[in-house]
Structure 1
Amino acid sequence: MTSPDPQQTQYRIDTLPFENSFASLPPAFYTRLMPTPVPAPYLVGASESVAAMIGLDSAELGRPEFTDTFAGNRVPKGALPLAAVYSGHQFGVWAGQLGDGRAILLGDVPAAISDKPGRMELQLKGSGLTPYSRMGDGRAVLRSSIREFLCSEAMAALGIPTSRALCVTGSDMLVMRETPETSAVVTRLAPTFVRFGSFEHWYYNEKHDELKLLADYVIDRFYPELREADNPYRAFLSEVTRRTARLMAQWQAVGFMHGVMNTDNMSILGITIDYGPYGFMEAFDANHICNHTDRQGRYSYQMQPGIGQWNCYALGQALLPLIGEVETTQAALEVYKGEYQQEMDRLLHAKLGLTTLQSQDKALIDEMFALMQANHIDFTLFFRRLGGLKLDDPGSDEPVRDLIIDRPAFDAWAAKYRERLRAENSVDAQRQAAMNAVNPKYVLRNYQAQIAIEKAQSKDFSEVQRLLKILEKPFDEQPENEKYAELPPDWAKELEVSCSS
């Protein structure tokens, strides 16, 4: 990410240069409608860094117009609000038509800070009923909105492709979930919110003209280089598959679990979207299910890479009429396994401070995960503290050793690890610096989000902003925030998150 240009234009809410490229598609792709206002909205939290991404003056965040706009109570000049239609497979079962049941796209604005020129769509999640709300009320609750806001920004700071979140606005208006809860709106940003299910919608409705229109729109806007390919649709599927495979490896390497990897929650750009019952791995268990609704464990930690591939095959099925042949489609999908393994190997070597590839590495890594599984070692703390291990100082093991019940088993593994480090002449200080740059000290733990939510429900938003600032620098030591890098309290084990939001 490039630094902001001090000479760049600073926009106010009503001078943001809105367009809505998605609205250039035929009306069958969406419904134009206004957000539904909420009574007496208030600002819960906002990200100055996301405001800077779109050139929005940070002074705007404190204005009543900012809160009103991103609560859905006023529409900024130039915006063309709409809700998009899509379909999808949910928990592996075809669910038919879905769509933006509580999200309204305001439009897209230029990305002021980006690796390359582009635009960012602004979407209000929780902004009222749409034609696609089905049995829902079109609203989001405060707890889920805070969780999406914080995790979007946490993932971005970890270097994982993701949608971003500008702000959360709340209202005392009650909505019914398991119990009555106050409502909220989270404003999220991405280059596009087109998803795998957007293509499935037209395929399963046997509307191949619309399928082609959507594919051409996405390729021309986000993958223009693929126009030069012999078969642009095959190249498109292959590139989305590559990006998805890399994203799955990045999730696994940081211990992130999405919780609801339905095809309607998978981005066509290979970024993380639709944060619901997610979780960061704490006590390691490859079978861990972060979503209480997922009774069968379809979206458990160890299943994520395979589900990512399954979803790519679902996309391939939808694109088959455009690609033309089953064999050609399958060939485009074959990149997944190799891309995932290559990225996972790269990330795990970096996490272990290894700079070369050697034949014994797989056995060393497999033994490490077996040790983590048997001892339910805290995922984040294990890798962070492992960076402090010194080649010729067994006492340096104590911080990481303290996390482990079977210490002789760790000692045996650590001896092999040291032997492997010596094989590439590893230097302690250099290795620790490199490991600390890829192994975060701070991730968004469920109990921390819960504390922030409970305070926010009493109108104390300080913990939301405090967590945001901590998570924006996950690799830094931050001695003043040391307590946020400790093992979670016992009561955290009782927390459950589900699809209800």
Structure 2
Amino acid sequence: MPFSPLPFNPEHSYQDLSDQLFAPCEATPVRAPQWIAFNEDLAEQLQIPQELWATDEGLQVFSGNQTPEWATPAALAYAGHQFANFVPQLGDGRALLLTEVLDKHNQRFDIQLKGSGRTPYSRGGDGRSPIGPVLREYLVSEAMHKLNVPTTRALAAVATGEWVQRETAQPGAILTRVAKSHLRVGTAQYVLHLRDYNLLKRFADYVIDRHYPELNNSEAPYLALLESVQLRQAQLIAKWMSLGFIHGVMNTDNMTLSGETIDYGPCAFMEAYEPATKFSFIDKRGRYAYQNQPAIGLWNIARFAETLLPLIDDDPDKAVAQATTTIETFQATYEDFYWKEMSRKIGVSDINTAKPLIERYLNLMQAQQIDFTQAFRFLGDQTPERAQRLFENSDSWQLWFNDWQEATDNSQLHQVNPAYIPRNHLIEQAIQTATNHGDLTIFNRLQTMLARPFIERDEFNDWFEPAKSEERITQTFCGT
């Protein structure tokens, strides 16, 4: 379907597909909303009217207290495998899609409230969010954007002036999330579960029109759609791995069809390099540990393939054979992206030369429990002093360093390897001071630091180092 370029002209193309895919729903008003943050750069890109930019009018809209005439709030339906267990109906239990907009580059985005109250899919929940998960998602999603990782974005964060009951009573908040779409592998699973072939075809065509319009000329568009989603997810997970990022809850309802990172509940960045690292409190067996993310990506893609089988070929056996052939390329595709990302991090352009150097370096990092971010950042220094200190000038490191110096052909590594990441203990400090004292000083300072993650600045020297032993955060929580 055509998407015409218009100035802030909200549309609702997804709702036009079928009323089976969403439930109309209004946000639940809150008592005393206050601004936490507003993203003016993103608002300018989205052509949001300036009367909503951190104003009283904007506060009413982004708290859910007022529904503007251009919004048609709806909770989206989806299914999902949660820790490998299929649930045929999940859906937005605490989120509402307000509208779609075309940005100044004619790209389509969803604008969604998250934490705005109960919906028909709340499954007994309160539909609210404590302030902690809102601050975490705002900081981490915007940091991921600055780190050049495809991601949903944060447009606004608002305190509700109300309490949310979890293990304890906590201040409530609402996030305004922006995404290229909120369509997930779990959405496709939901549509398949409806057993309506025509709707399944319309849905797949919509995904192609919105995210992969180049496939409209393909002789086999639905197989090509599988290939395209697989390609973007392989590239995305390679970027995660190259930064030490651990998503924490890679259920199929948390894998987007657009290739963006979505849902930052129990996410974290690894510090000391250990492939088995996990943080999520609910991931008891480490299904979504750092080292497992590529395999889980493949598993999720296989579930997406299942939803497309009726469209790939009328003959079920042929459809399975074609989809299987595509899926079997995932690992090689991922590894190609991964080794390219990692080769850039050490400045060695020849992959065959880079790969053994990277493997040796990671082994050294694991053996000595070296901070992932600093280990790569310090390679971009003009002198080796900081790296020497990091590895305590060990013989094994010195041998590796000499071999690497002979192979490297890029001195611009500070443009590739960040100085700053959203370290767990810093996010926790921001959350605790906001929760316990209503103080956003640390949150605001983190925003400033993470806005330019590749540039070291003296004023953030105190936040450059990994957590001390007493500061380490070993478990993260969803907040639902």
Structure 1 and Structure 2 fold alike (TM over 0.5): yes
Letter in 1 for 2:113: L
After superposition, give the CA deviation of every residue in 1:8-31 in whole Å (9 maximum; x if it has no partner).
Answer: 99x9xxxx4221111112111111
- Cα distance in 1 between the residues matched to 2:438 and 2:157: 13
Q: Spell out, residue by residue over 1:256-311, the C-alpha distance to the aligned partner (whole angstroms, 9 max, x if none).
A: 11000000000001110111100011111100002121001000000001111110
Task: Specify the alignment match of 1:404 in structure 2.
Answer: 391
Match of residue 38 from structure 1 = 30
Give RMSD over aligned pairs. 1.8
> Partners of 1:361 and 1:110 in 2: how far apart?
41
Letter in 2 for 1:292: F
| CA deviation after TM superposition for structure 1 residue 128, in Å | 0.6
Give the conservation status (yes or no) of the 8 Å contact 1:87–1:97. yes
Q: Distance in 1 between matches of 2:269 and 2:50?
A: 30
Is the 1:19–1:80 contact (alpha carbons within 8 Å) kept by the matching residues of 2?
Answer: no
Q: How does 1:317-356 map to 2 (within 5 A)?
A: 317-324=306-313, 325-356=319-350
- Please state whether the residue corresponding to 1:296 is helix, strand or coil: coil
> What's 1:493 paired with?
472
Instruction: Say which SS state the counterpart of residue 348 (structure 2) adopts.
Output: coil
- CA displacement 1:339-361 (0-9 Å, x = unmatched): 21111111111100113334x43
The answer to whether residue 240 in structure 2 is matched with residue 247 in structure 1 is: no
Deviates more, 1:457-466 or 1:63-72: 457-466
Counterpart residue number, 2:251? 262
Are 2:158 and 1:174 aligned? Answer: no
1:466 aligned onto 2:459: no
- Which amino acid counterpart does residue 149 of structure 2 have in structure 1? I
How far has the Cα of 1:59 moved from its partner? 6.7
1:401-440 Cα shifts (integer Å, max 9, x gaps): 222357222112212212323xxxx4xxxx33x2111100
Cα distance between partner residues in 2 of 1:361 and 1:474: 25
Conservation of the 8 A alpha-carbon contact between 2:282 and 2:477: yes
DSSP-derived class of the 2:256 partner: coil
Correspondence for 1:24? 16
1:196, CA displacement in angstroms?
0.3
1:85 paired to 2:85: no
Given that 2:51 and 2:58 are in contact with CA atoms closer than 8 Å, whether structure 1 keeps it comes out as: no
What secondary structure, in the 3-state scheme, does the structure 2 residue paired with 1:450 have? helix
Distance 1:278 1:237 in 2: 26
Asked if 1:365 corresponds to 2:358, the answer is yes
Shift of 1:139: 0.8
User: Among 353, 374, 385, which residue is 1:381 paired with?
Assistant: 374
Of 406-415 and 24-33, more deviation after overlay is shown by 406-415
Partner SS, residue 444 of structure 1: coil
- The verdict on how the C-alpha distance between 1:478 and 1:405 changes in structure 2, with shifts beyond 3 A counting, is closer
Tell me, yes or no, if structure 1 residue 453 matches structure 2 residue 431. yes
One-letter identity of the residue aligned with 1:307: I
Moved more, 289-298 or 328-337: 328-337
Letter in 1 for 2:385: E
Q: Deviations over 1:191-222 (max 9, x none)?
A: 21000000111223433332222111111222
CA contact (8 A) 1:259 1:291 kept: yes
Q: Equivalences for 1:305-320 in 2 at 5 Å?
A: 305-320=294-309
Task: Output one character per residue of 1:105-161: Cα deviation in whole Å (capped at 9) or x when no partner.
Answer: 00111212x4xx222110000011111111311111100010001111000000000
Matched residue SS, 1:275: coil
- Code of the residue aligned with 1:34 in structure 2: it is E
1:156 corresponds to which of 145, 170, 183: 145
Q: How many residues align?
A: 470
Alpha-carbon contact 1:45-1:461 (below 8 Å) kept: no
Q: 1:135 aligns to what SS in structure 2?
A: coil
Aligned-residue offset at 1:374: 0.9
1:479 corresponds to which of 454, 458, 471: 458
SS in 1 for 2:53: helix
Which residue pairs with 1:393 in the alignment? none
Tell me how far apart the structure 2 counterparts of residues 288 and 95 of structure 1 sit (CA, whole Å): 27
Which amino acid in 1 is paired with 2:79? S
Cα distance between partner residues in 2 of 1:488 and 1:86: 38
The aligned counterpart of 1:3 is: none
Aligned AA (1:442):
Y
The code of the aligned residue for 2:394 comes to: R
Q: Which residue of 2 aligns with 1:4?
A: none
In the alignment, the residues of structure 2 paired with residue 205 and residue 121 of structure 1 have an alpha-carbon distance, to the nearest angstrom, of 24
Provide the C-alpha distance between the structure 2 equivalents of 1:76 and 1:469, rounded to a whole number of angstroms: 31
Q: Matched residue of 1:153: which SS?
A: helix
Question: Is the contact between residue 231 and residue 330 of structure 2 (CA under 8 Å) also seen in structure 1?
Answer: yes
Corresponding residue of 1:102: 94
Q: Which residue of 2 aligns with 1:441?
A: 419
> Secondary structure of the residue that 1:165 maps to in structure 2?
strand
Paired residue secondary structure (1:411): helix
In the alignment, the residues of structure 2 paired with residue 103 and residue 406 of structure 1 have an alpha-carbon distance, to the nearest angstrom, of 51
- Give 1:202-241 correspondences, 5 Å limit: 202-241=191-230
User: 8 Å contact 1:241–1:335 — kept in the other structure?
Assistant: no
Counterpart CA distance in 2 for 1:38 and 1:322 is 45
Q: In 2, Cα distance between the equivalents of 1:223 and 1:139?
A: 34
Structure 1: runs of 5+ lacking an equivalent: 1-7, 391-395
Give structure 1 regions of 4+ aligned residues with deviation exceeding 4 angstroms: none
Against the structure 1 CA distance between its residues 71 and 495, is the aligned structure 2 distance closer, same or farther, given a 3 Å change threshold? farther
Question: Does the aligned pair in 2 maintain the 1:48–1:58 contact within 8 Å?
Answer: no
**Map of 1:188 onto structure 2:** 177
How far apart are the structure 1 equivalents of 2:141 and 2:460?
20
Once residues 187 and 152 of structure 1 are traced to their aligned partners in structure 2, the CA distance between those partners, rounded to angstroms, is 12
Matches of 2:472 and 2:146, distance apart in 1? 26
Q: CA deviation at 1:57?
A: 5.5
| 8 Å contact kept, 2:423–2:466 | no
- CA pair 494-198 structure 1, distance change in 2 beyond 3 A: closer
**Secondary structure of the equivalent of 1:402?**
helix
Equivalences for residues 121-136 of structure 1 within 5 A: 121-136=110-125
Where does 1:137-148 land on structure 2 (aligned, <5 Å)?
137-148=126-137
Structure 2 letter corresponding to 1:464:
F
Is contact 1:72-1:124 (8 Å) kept?
yes
Q: Residues 133 and 478 of structure 2 are in contact (CA less than 8 Å); yes or no, is this contact kept in structure 1?
A: no
Deviations along 1:426-481, one digit per CA (max 9) or x if unpaired, are: 4xxxx33x211110001101111111112222222232222112111111122222
> AA paired with 1:256?
F
Aligned equivalents of 1:119 and 1:469: distance in 2?
28
Counterparts of 2:169 and 2:430, CA distance in 1: 19
Q: Contact conserved, 1:247 with 1:271, CA < 8 A, in 2?
A: yes
